[in-house]
Amino acid sequence: MKKILAATLSIGMALLAACGGERAGEQTDTVAEAKTFTWKLVTSWPKNYPGLGTGPEKFADMVEAMSDGRLKVRVYGAGEMVPALEVFDAVSQGTVEMGHGSAYYWKGKIPAAPFFTTVPFGLNAQEMNAWLNYGGGLELWREAYEPFNLIPFPGGNTGVQMAGWFNKKIETMEDIEGLSVRIPGLGGEIITRAGGQSVTIPGGEIYTAMQTNLVDATEWVSPYNDQALGLHQVGDYYYYPGWHEPGPTLEFIVNEAAYNRLPDDLKAMVRVAAQAINQDMLNEYTARNMTAMEELVEKHGVDVRPLPDEVIAGLRDVTEQVLAELAEKDPLTKRVYESQMAFKEKAMAYHAITEEAFYDARRPEPESGYGE
Ligand code: CA
């Protein structure tokens, strides 16, 4: 016993000595380590917008705390430095070091971009995270952004959105013909292909557009953000599910040269904080959406209803057609499409006997929990 104790003590003392040695070594590096960086992060959201905009604010706080102030990130709302839809260019050109937005805004530059945000009838949040991190998605995303000197990181997720607020009942696919809907991205293309008219209006103008009947329907996000915009005051029916945005992933984009100037430990902090925000935002939306939906139904008497099976099936057919056509137009889009669709097939098979089977098992009655 004494021998073991003595051996333990001597190991302990050796460790102490080693620590002391390291500390002395650290001091010689003080100048290099003390170098501080101040980054600008521009976003596509109003400053501090709940969820979408508070995510990058939390990211900034996190890296500043982790780095003990060596990496400071100043966050700018849309329009403060650059307009919402110029985030990509500002970071690409190195005007600022970093951005937060949504890949599908850049589909004019990169046809494959929507696949990194969300695809109608595509992957949900859990599946997007799996595809991006363990299914080859992130490698393809980096390849797509590389020519623009940008490194993308998943930067949050809203979860399955709502189909949106409608002032006309949707019973068949014919009801979509001539319907004017505020719906961006691929969802908009599908509505157009189905005979409707898709319009892109920024969040701040949606309420008035609905109130003045400029549009018959609008999607925005989900109950938490929709209630904050007051959309229940201007929309008659709140339809689900968000077939067009089943698991929208937001993005952090970093200027490649700026990233490469960081020492390895700060690079790791950027990566880890982005991962933390990616998960944190989903957690926040999951909790706040269910509370907001309860309020919408109980306090405001909102009429929540499912899109009929026939309409879902019709939209799904149009989506398959539109996605296949998109893939044929561009080689990278084809690779991304094939990767994501193959992943989706596997996810659907497996989730049918796990997540879906469990949801069914957990629910005593088949009806939804609202408005029945
Ligand atoms: Ca949306």
Task: Indicate whether 23 pLDDT > 60.
Answer: no
Lowest-pLDDT range of 21-35, 44-58, 65-79, 188-202: 21-35
**283 alpha carbon to ligand 1 midpoint, in Å?**
18
pLDDT in tens, 220-256: 999 999 999 999 999 999 999 999 999 999 999 999 9
**204 alpha carbon to ligand 1 midpoint, in Å?**
13
Whether 182 is covered by a domain: the verdict is no
**223 alpha carbon to ligand 1 midpoint, in Å?**
11
Whether 99 is covered by a domain: the verdict is yes
Q: Quick one: pLDDT at residue 184?
A: 87
**66 alpha carbon to ligand 1 midpoint, in Å?**
33
**262 alpha carbon to ligand 1 midpoint, in Å?**
34
**285 alpha carbon to ligand 1 midpoint, in Å?**
13
Task: Indicate whether 96 pLDDT > 50.
Answer: yes
Q: Quick one: pLDDT at residue 369?
A: 66
**50 alpha carbon to ligand 1 midpoint, in Å?**
14
Q: Quick one: pLDDT at residue 11?
A: 46
**20 alpha carbon to ligand 1 midpoint, in Å?**
55
**219 alpha carbon to ligand 1 midpoint, in Å?**
6
**308 alpha carbon to ligand 1 midpoint, in Å?**
20
**161 alpha carbon to ligand 1 midpoint, in Å?**
6
The dihedral built from the CA positions of residue 5, 9, 15 and 19, taken in this order, carries a sign that is positive
**200 alpha carbon to ligand 1 midpoint, in Å?**
11
Query: Cα(16)–Cα(2) distance, rounded to whole angstroms?
Result: 21
Task: Indicate whether 263 pLDDT > 90.
Answer: yes
**29 alpha carbon to ligand 1 midpoint, in Å?**
48
For the chain, percent of residues with pLDDT exceeding 90: 85
**Band of residue 202 on the pLDDT scale cut at 50, 70, 90:** confident
**226 alpha carbon to ligand 1 midpoint, in Å?**
10
Range of the domain at 40: 35-157+248-286
Task: Indicate whether 172 pLDDT > 90.
Answer: yes
Whether 336 is covered by a domain: the verdict is no
The token pair that represents 94 in the structure block: 């190195």
**86 alpha carbon to ligand 1 midpoint, in Å?**
19
**31 alpha carbon to ligand 1 midpoint, in Å?**
47
**73 alpha carbon to ligand 1 midpoint, in Å?**
27
- Bond before 241 cis per omega within 30 degrees: yes
**52 alpha carbon to ligand 1 midpoint, in Å?**
12
Whether 293 is covered by a domain: the verdict is no
Total count of domains within the chain? 1
Show the 3-state SS of the chain. Answer: CHHHHHHHHHHHHHHHHHHHHHHHHHHHCHHHHCCCEEEEEEECCCCCCCCCCHHHHHHHHHHHHHCCCCEEEEEECCCCCCCHHHHHHHHHCCCCCEEEECHHHHCCCCCCHHHHCCCCCCCCHHHHHHHHHHCCHHHHHHHHHHHHCEEEEEEEECCCCCCEEECCCCCCHHHHCCCEEECCHHHHHHHHHCCCEEECCCHHHHHHHHHCCCCCEECCCCHHHHHHHCHHHCCCEEEECCCCCCCCEEEEEEEHHHHHHCCHHHHHHHHHHHHHHHHHHHHHHHHHHHHHHHHHHHCCCCEEEECCHHHHHHHHHHHHHHHHHHHHHCHHHHHHHHHHHHHHHHHHHHHHHCHHHHHHHHCCCCCCCCCC
Query: Cα(191)–Cα(182) distance, rounded to whole angstroms?
Result: 10
Whether 280 is covered by a domain: the verdict is yes
For the chain, percent of residues with pLDDT exceeding 70: 90
Contacts of 330 (CB under 8 A, 6+ apart): 111, 112
**Band of residue 16 on the pLDDT scale cut at 50, 70, 90:** very low
The dihedral built from the CA positions of residue 326, 331, 336 and 337, taken in this order, carries a sign that is positive
**15 alpha carbon to ligand 1 midpoint, in Å?**
55
Q: In Å, how far are 113, 128, 168, 188, 237 from 178, measured between CA atoms?
A: 28, 33, 11, 13, 18
Q: Quick one: pLDDT at residue 316?
A: 98
CATH number at residue 128: 3.40.190.170
How crowded is the C-beta side of 44, counted as CA atoms within 13 Å? 21
**107 alpha carbon to ligand 1 midpoint, in Å?**
16
**Band of residue 32 on the pLDDT scale cut at 50, 70, 90:** low
Query: Cα(71)–Cα(33) distance, rounded to whole angstroms?
Result: 11
Mean of the per-residue pLDDT values for the chain? 91
**172 alpha carbon to ligand 1 midpoint, in Å?**
22
**218 alpha carbon to ligand 1 midpoint, in Å?**
9
Could you give phi then psi for residue 42, rounded to 5 degrees? -100, 145
Q: Is 27 exposed, middle or buried (0-12, 13-18, 19+ CB in 10 A)?
A: exposed
pTM: 0.88
pLDDT in tens, 266-307: 999 999 999 999 999 999 999 999 999 999 999 999 999 999
Question: Which residues partner with 181 through β-bridges?
Answer: 198, 217
**72 alpha carbon to ligand 1 midpoint, in Å?**
31
**220 alpha carbon to ligand 1 midpoint, in Å?**
4
Q: In Å, how far are 51, 73, 242, 289, 319 from 65, measured between CA atoms?
A: 21, 11, 37, 29, 44
Tokens 């992957």 belong to which residue?
A: 123
**88 alpha carbon to ligand 1 midpoint, in Å?**
19
The token pair that represents 352 in the structure block: 């049918």
**12 alpha carbon to ligand 1 midpoint, in Å?**
58
Question: Which residue, 255, 269, 270, is CA-closest to 96?
Answer: 255
